[in-house]
Amino acid sequence: MKIAAFEILRFDELESTNTTALEYAGKGAGKKLVITAQKQTAGRGRRGRSWQSLAGNLFFSLLLEYPLKRLGTLIMASALSIAETIKEYQADADVKLKWPNDVLLNNAKVCGMLLEKGCDEYMVVGIGVNIKQSPQSEEMLYPVISLREAGITADAEDFLQKYLHRFTDNLQTDAAILRQKWLQNVKGLGQKITVKQENKEITGIFAGIDENADLLLQTNGEVQHILAGDVFYVEKNQ
């Protein structure tokens, strides 16, 4: 079944596209919406971090009704579609997924995401893509890059349109096939990683993800299911 197209709502400035998307969910939007803004004054990322909204970059949030029990599919489709969109501009670009929902270009972060639960079955997927500039801050956990800095010329509006086509197609893909595509594009599979959580760090072999997109970490002969954390690549994978 073909998924209905998104309606795009464009704003010059917002506090946060996710905040606005959640407000529309509370109003019973009844549609699939894209909230995008030229500027965010209080953009936010995962685990309470701020998100710098630099001029020329792309900031948008997807609002759609999607069952929480299929959240893993939504996570995989959201990130994979960014990687595929970048490759539309440069087929041989060194693009990799970084669990849970970051996208790396030349081993530096080019895109981050924040998924939030709205009312009823509404889900919000907030996405920031470094099109023209990459934010620089001592708070950054990982190197960052923009498409332009990597020699890829793209326009934010054109990127958004290409992404929406990819995302819609991926969301309709069989979950097992989508998971396999995600695994084919992830960095560090089968290698040693460290997952940093709020109160501890766990090091082991990145064994993949389960159907819920939880990370599978092999440690001491056992496989742990990791729901949240920040991944760092060990030794030669750094």
**Residue 108 is which amino acid?**
A
Where are the domains positioned within the chain?
A: 7-184, 192-237
Topology alike, domains 7-184 and 192-237: no
- Digit-coded pLDDT (tens) for 38-50: 988 876 554 445 5
CATH no. of 192-237:
2.30.30.100
Q: Is 200 exposed, middle or buried (0-12, 13-18, 19+ CB in 10 A)?
A: exposed
**pLDDT over threshold 70, residue 52:** no
CA-to-CA separations, 62 to 2, 4, 83, 225, 231, in angstroms, rounded: 17, 13, 17, 27, 25
Average pLDDT, the chain: 90
Residue with the bigger pLDDT between 150 and 138: it is 150
Query: How far is 53 from 133, CA to CA, in rounded Å?
Result: 9
93-98-99 Cα angle (round to 5): 155
- Digit-coded pLDDT (tens) for 175-214: 999 999 999 999 999 999 999 998 899 999 999 999 999 9
pTM of the predicted model over 0.85? yes
Task: Tell me what pLDDT residue 2 has.
Answer: 46
- Digit-coded pLDDT (tens) for 4-46: 589 999 999 999 999 999 999 988 667 799 999 998 887 655 4
Helix (H) or strand (E) holding 25: helix 17-26
Average pLDDT over residues 120-139: 87
**pLDDT over threshold 70, residue 1:** no
Architecture of domain 7-184: 2-Layer Sandwich (3.30)
Task: Tell me what pLDDT residue 126 has.
Answer: 96
**pLDDT over threshold 70, residue 53:** no
pLDDT tier at 127, thresholds 50, 70, 90: very high
Helix (H) or strand (E) holding 18: helix 17-26
Task: Tell me what pLDDT residue 139 has.
Answer: 61
**Residue 138 is which amino acid?**
E
